[in-house]
Amino acid sequence: MPGISHMLKGILRYKKIDQVHLVEQFKQVRENPEPLSVFFTCIDSRVLASRFTNSQVGETFFVRNAGNIVPHVKISSKDIGGSTEPGALELGCVVNNIRHVVVCGHSDCKAMNMLYGIKHDMCNHAACSHSPLRAWLQKHGAPTVKKFAKLSPENNFSGPLIFQGETEENSFAAYIDPENNFSLPDKLSQVNCLQQLQNIASYPFLREKLMRDEVRLHAMFFDIYTGNVYMFSRKEKQFIEICKENYNALLKDADSLEVNEE
């Protein structure tokens, strides 16, 4: 099987080149790891989040699913045993006192492409019987579709839209791709990233931490065709490319909880 052969050869290369260095890092963090962020992203094989964030051992809790979705508590709480995403939030932010939570979407996301394709047929539950992916998207993607529907073609579907941040008082305005560089499904993907911040803030076990500014919520977007990574700036009200020129402004914005309502 070519796929397994490629994987096994990759592990052999790891043992030859990287294993010794990683084991040393494991030893350094074994007794007292201090992870810095919980990072929700898509399972797409093109999204190598640990690579483009240059994450090292012990730094990041990565959580991946189709469409980088975090179910809202009203939906998640109906499932027996809950789901992975809120469990990861509790493990990261409550057990390990992680302060930063990031939701990172990407261009040409197959899950978001499907959500865009079925956005006018979200009530067709019969179609879900043979598609777990469609069922997942219809169940948890409805708020994203509802928000996206508020965009108008008269301004290239840019908005603005209003999203809730850490608390209702931290709501902010967002212009979606105002320069019109991305496709409509990619715009939906950006809306989806911002919608997940509101979903994360819905969990009661995070409420006090969010109100006391002990947990911050951030949205990012990865363009798989250019390799550029964007971070949502509440001050600029849009996704801004992360680069040397924008670093200080984005860092300052990420540390601020100013309300930027339109």
pLDDT of residue 77: 66
- Cα–Cα–Cα angle for 169, 172, 176, nearest 5°? 160
d(CA 114, CA 158): 21
d(CA 91, CA 105): 22
Tell me the average pLDDT across 227-241: 96
For the chain, give the mean pLDDT.
90
pLDDT of residue 259: 42
How remote is the C-alpha of 260 from its chain's centroid? Answer: 21
Over residues 30-65, the pLDDT tens digits come to 877 789 999 999 999 999 999 999 998 899 999 999
Over residues 131-150, the pLDDT tens digits come to 999 999 999 999 999 999 99
Checking if the pLDDT of 262 tops 50, the result is no
Could you count the other beta carbons within 10 Å of the beta carbon of residue 96?
A: 15
Tell me the average pLDDT across 71-83: 74
State whether the Cα torsion 138-122-199-104 is positive or negative: positive
**In this structure, CATH architecture of domain 33-254:** 3-Layer(aba) Sandwich (3.40)
When mean pLDDT is compared across 77-86, 225-234, 235-244, the lowest value belongs to: 77-86
Tokens of 42: 């898509």
Checking if the pLDDT of 70 tops 50, the result is yes
Which amino acid, one-letter code, is at 32? N
For the whole model, what pTM was predicted? 0.91
Higher pLDDT, 169 or 229: 229
Tokens of 229: 């990574």
Confidence of residue 258 (pLDDT cuts 50, 70, 90): very low
Checking if the pLDDT of 239 tops 50, the result is yes
pLDDT of residue 42: 98
